[in-house]
Structure 1
């Protein structure tokens, strides 16, 4: 426990409570002043000193929630890498919700901390007001929202900051907290905590709000098609409000390293956002290429488990005709679709399975799977297997939820 950090976070909370933040203009002025004051590096020792500091305090991985999803899978990899470098490193998984199934991925020796105020998107109380309610200067929503927002920020600074201080955490590793505006209160609170406590940050960006999103006027002016994230720009016409989003997502600081999963994001931060290239890095999502040896029994067991899921509590699986479901209401249960209806479908035997572990949304380009599968059947050696074995099947599973 670091008494110095605890005293610092307590004083930070008290000082922030004294700030006269009553309007969006007040917040903008505060952040401008804050950014100018926090230009010093929080650490200026040698790499050896830094290693000692990190190993003593540990690293905290922060995101909105942990479950069986891409973010949690990637975080597990990051945690393993840190453990390889620093074997005795304390690791903390912090989120608004940690679902039971996430324990399959979270290291057994990692500390877990749930702070409900860190939940995001529809689970964040202000999400609708920020991005789905039309605001105008002087309106009730406009005037009320700043008070609710700043109060949430203060609560998070105290709760999250106290946990970080009590555990003497030396490095924060954020995943999408400051790139995807699922909880703006959390983003700003994390920035304040890291800067006031002088804690370096690796800000890992998987999704930026502008990827697939544009201002209404840009859609018309540039002839751009509507995108799935246009709603983030719903109130972009109010400069003093939207400038907070632009400043926070992502935050630029000498003690923050913005790590992106592709070069397009990297170039956007440098060339459009004007970030220092020295503080922008690339870390693509990766697949473990090590072959995992599984017995035939384990493979059959796994197939049987998936088969049970698709049976939906019935004795057998039915494959439904895809053409009958193009306009139907979305199914809330797992469903198998094919070119025709098949009763008593045998999922376990004679089945080649392809897996796309993503959500069922347009930007995941699920349609590319079918083009790739078609290309496979252009190879005689591949298609010959299906000709010589009429029972052979090919199944494509998109395993993520429907948002």
Structure 2
């Protein structure tokens, strides 16, 4: 019998990694016969299955102030403790209303018990689970100890209790083996590893009447390579390496960067602009034209999804220094594009051993890697063979079917066969 499953996060909206994976899980669970509902401070899910709780967002005024106080003090002012508990209680009431409105059987906190962007929310979810015993699958994308900015704080007691909580009715899921090892070492908590996934059983969308003008709109010449950096402009994405590669290729090429910096500040984005100018390459920032769905802007311009751009990419660059997993890697494989990837730790430990054939740099661009990139770009038959091989591997290890099997097992631990 299908269950009512409630996803909870700060926001489930847009194209950030957590929102994307949340929607993938929901799709998988729904095709298994379950019903999915959503609670967050910002939602773009259908209204009939949505519960908006503004104070669940990390950008809400008072919640944002609490966050800043938590990570700018070594000792916690009593007023801050009172505020934390006041919002904890308010959010507990919202969670209770969410559970009651949709008669939920299972909760799925998405990163809310993992990264302390909204500590009252983490406290509220933890207390709700402790008091009700509701079956919970805590989906962890990136733990607080992976981010330097969280290590100076005045809330270690709440970290130890809630990030993540060690409760009998919670099954913990992580997206990479390093997180699985660290979670066990730091907390003694066992977890299930379910990596990010793609629907490899369904062919990727291609070129149609809506997106066939992408190259023209981006002002890319017919004889110019389109090299796609399908990420936000944040420091850990290592975009300087993509710029250097374009500069050293000796080909007419443009680097298309799909997203802006988001909520992590614009200093690095300016650095990328300046570095592209310094290296004398054409970097095209198209974040104003990339949306979650196809539509027209207020001034009449057509927008595209990232999936509209992939079919035109001659090469995808993914030179990240650190990633929790690597959605862009899976997407490049899905669209059968050649990919240049940095040997970041999760790629090295979890993805590389599967046998993918990619252009792999190891922290810096060598002459050998630049030459290999030229060879691949000049050999369409080789690109096709690489694409077929990579797609088959990805379908085996990172498919919806693999995630479905793992989620079915987790639900069986709560409800039996």
TM over 0.5: yes
Change in 2 beyond 3 A, CA 1:143/1:352: same
Query: 2:376: which partner in 1?
Result: 382
Match of residue 352, structure 1, among 285, 297, 314: 314
Kept in 1: contact 2:29–2:35 (CA 8 A): no
Q: Which has the larger radius of gyration?
A: 1
Query: 1:61: which partner in 2?
Result: 7
Query: 2:152: which partner in 1?
Result: 234
Aligned-residue offset at 1:242: 1.3
Query: 1:128: which partner in 2?
Result: 68
Query: 1:313: which partner in 2?
Result: none
| SS state at 2:50 partner | strand
Aligned: 1:97 with 2:18: no
Distance 1:333 1:115 in 2: 36
1:1-400 → structure 2 map (5 Å cutoff): 51=1, 54=3, 58-65=4-11, 66-86=13-33, 89-98=34-43, 103=44, 106=45, 108=46, 111-120=49-58, 124=63, 125-135=65-75, 142-211=77-146, 229-235=147-153, 241-275=155-189, 277=190, 280-289=191-200, 290-295=202-207, 297-304=209-216, 329-331=267-269, 337=276, 339-341=279-281, 352-354=314-316, 363-364=322-323, 371=361, 375=369, 377-378=371-372, 381-384=375-378
Query: Gapped runs of 5+ residues in structure 2?
Result: 221-225, 227-241, 245-265, 286-308, 327-340, 344-358, 381-417
Superposed CA RMSD: 4.1
- Runs ≥4 residues deviating over 3 A: 295-299, 301-308, 328-339, 341-345, 347-351, 364-370, 372-377, 383-386
Q: Give the length in aligned residue pairs.
A: 277
| SS state at 1:127 partner | helix
Aligned-residue offset at 1:291: 2.2
Change in 2 beyond 3 A, CA 1:273/1:342: closer
Distance 1:256 1:81 in 2: 20
| SS state at 1:179 partner | coil
Kept in 2: contact 1:132–1:231 (CA 8 A): no
Distance 1:117 1:340 in 2: 45
Task: Give CA-to-partner distance per residue, 1:208-245, whole Å, 9 cap, x none.
Answer: 0112xxxxxxxxxxxxxxxxx23322136xxxx41221
Aligned-residue offset at 1:134: 3.2
TM-score by length of 2: 0.56
Aligned-residue offset at 1:157: 0.8
Task: Give CA-to-partner distance per residue, 1:177-211, whole Å, 9 cap, x none.
Answer: 00101111001101222333331110000000112
Kept in 2: contact 1:157–1:190 (CA 8 A): yes
Distance 2:8 2:82 in 1: 25
Change in 2 beyond 3 A, CA 1:303/1:334: farther
Kept in 2: contact 1:261–1:282 (CA 8 A): yes
Task: Give CA-to-partner distance per residue, 1:317-366, whole Å, 9 cap, x none.
Answer: xxxx969xxxx954479969374255999x9998624265xxx9853498
Kept in 2: contact 1:95–1:113 (CA 8 A): yes
